[in-house]
Amino acid sequence: MPDLKKLTELLKKIKIPAKMPDLKGMALKAKETYHKDKKKVIIFALVAIVLIIVGARVMGNVGKTLFKKKEAPKKVAALTAEEEATPVKIYKVKKMDFKDTLPVMGNIKGFKEINMSFQVAGIIESYNFEEGEKIQEGDIVASLIQRDALLKLKYSEVELKKAQKLFEIGAIGPIKLEQSKLEYESAKSDLDKTNIYAMSNGYLGSKLKDVGSYVNPSMAEDNIGVFVQLDKVYAEFNIIEKDIPKITLGQKVEVFADAFPAKSFQGSVDRIAPIVEGRSRTEMIKVELDNKDDLLKPGMFVRALVATYEKKDALVIPASSAKKKEKEAEYVVFVVHKDEPKKEEAEAPKEKPKKLLGLFPMKKKEAPKKDEAAAMQEKPIEYGTIEVRKIKPGYITQDAFEVEEGLKEDESIVSEVQEDFKDKARVEIAEVQEGLI
């Protein structure tokens, strides 16, 4: 049972308001306020949710960053000597007969090309030969009208006979007789001057005057023709200035004419002009050629190879394999010392495929194709070490390089130097060059 006394005291403490509040009105007012702020509450709630999610993620990343373990740095594998090797092409040094030639172009000239002219003035009476016709030594090539010369010779002959008779009877002295003899010889010489005689065997190259033309020996343009000797001919070539030091007397020359593509003519440098022509900056050389068959004609275009250098058993390397050191003014090559081949491990014998109780026979493998077979039989890659070596050069051309000292036969060198190798550098032998070119 409750204590009535305590209950009564409690009721006295509770103050009951004189007028009860309007609970219904308060409820309506609260409902209106809720509907007005409903949208704001929803938006606020969504924003709060997004902020909570983002904050959680940020705090998680920060925690991972602060408390995660540092990973040990990965080790980079060091390159092997084979991986560092530079691929190169090598050339095996050999002794050979070294010959250098200089290609030139020129024309054929007669061994003797003489402009013919009379020694006295007169009118051309005749030509005894046609152009290109062969002439023997002593033949009369052309003549002037000789009437006056013959009269003078006849008169001097009569005077000489008269003087001889007078001298015999003592009517004149020896001086007068000698004078008559000289006049006769002079008249005879004047007659001979009306003819042009061939001094040797040859050809009439060309006629420059016609019969009936007046000629005067004092005028240079009054040549009547050209006499050509063709049992020997000259090939004339113009040498450009930079090649002049390569030319010397007596060098062998092989001459080729377009008219005879299957034949060559052998000769030698016979004459070298002492001056360089100003306009062309060239020096003329003459090569003497035998022409007994009269195949080569003056004016023919010819090509030739002048043997400027010859040496037997010379050590010759490609010009691209030598490198010039500008500071030291010397040449070096890069000798390649090949690595000794490693012993290959014996391959384990392959087991023969077993048949499964004779029910499923194994299929035979197809033979590899040619390309695959070649790939399977490829030689193993060869490596070597570089040795930088000084050499003493001999004769140098655009493509070849003679070595006098510094190399031995059968040594291998880098044939195409693309870079300046260091001593003991590693290289991979990609190709072996067999010849100079």
d(CA 35, CA 25): 16
* Residue 294, SS3 per DSSP: coil
For residue 201 the two structure tokens come to 């065997």
Q: Tell me, yes or no, if the pTM score tops 0.85.
A: no
262, 118 Cβ separation under 8 angstroms: no
pLDDT at 317 over 70: yes
Going by pLDDT thresholds of 50, 70 and 90, the confidence category of residue 74 is low
User: Percentage of the chain surpassing pLDDT 90?
Assistant: 38
Angle between helix 23-36 and helix 38-67 axes, rounded to 10 deg: 60
For residue 89 the two structure tokens come to 């092409």
Which range has the worst mean pLDDT, 147-151, 283-287, 418-422?
418-422
Which residue carries 């655009």 as its tokens?
398
Compute the C-alpha angle 391/396/402, nearest 5°: 50
CATH class of residue range 114-225 = mainly beta
Using the 8-state DSSP alphabet, how is residue 347 labeled? P
Strand ranges of the sheet holding 214-215, from the earlier edge strand across to the other edge: 195-197, 140-144, 122-127, 214-215
Which range has the worst mean pLDDT, 74-88, 124-138, 171-185?
74-88
Tens digits of residue pLDDT in 115-155: 899 989 999 999 999 888 889 999 999 999 999 999 999 99
CATH class of residue range 101-105+230-310 = mainly beta
Tens digits of residue pLDDT in 197-251: 998 888 888 898 999 999 988 877 778 999 988 889 999 999 999 999 999 999 9
d(CA 101, CA 316): 15
Residue extents of the structural domains in the chain: 20-57, 101-105+230-310, 114-225
pLDDT at 328 over 90: no
For residue 224 the two structure tokens come to 């009547």
195, 166 Cβ separation under 8 angstroms: no
d(CA 84, CA 70): 33
d(CA 334, CA 336): 6
d(CA 412, CA 317): 10
Helix (H), strand (E) at residue 285: strand 282-290
Q: What is the pLDDT of residue 366?
A: 58
- β-bridge mates for residue 390, sequence order: 332
Q: What is the pLDDT of residue 248?
A: 93
For residue 25 the two structure tokens come to 């009105």
The contacts of residue 316 (CB under 8 Å, 6+ apart) are: 94, 95, 96, 98, 400, 401, 402, 403, 436
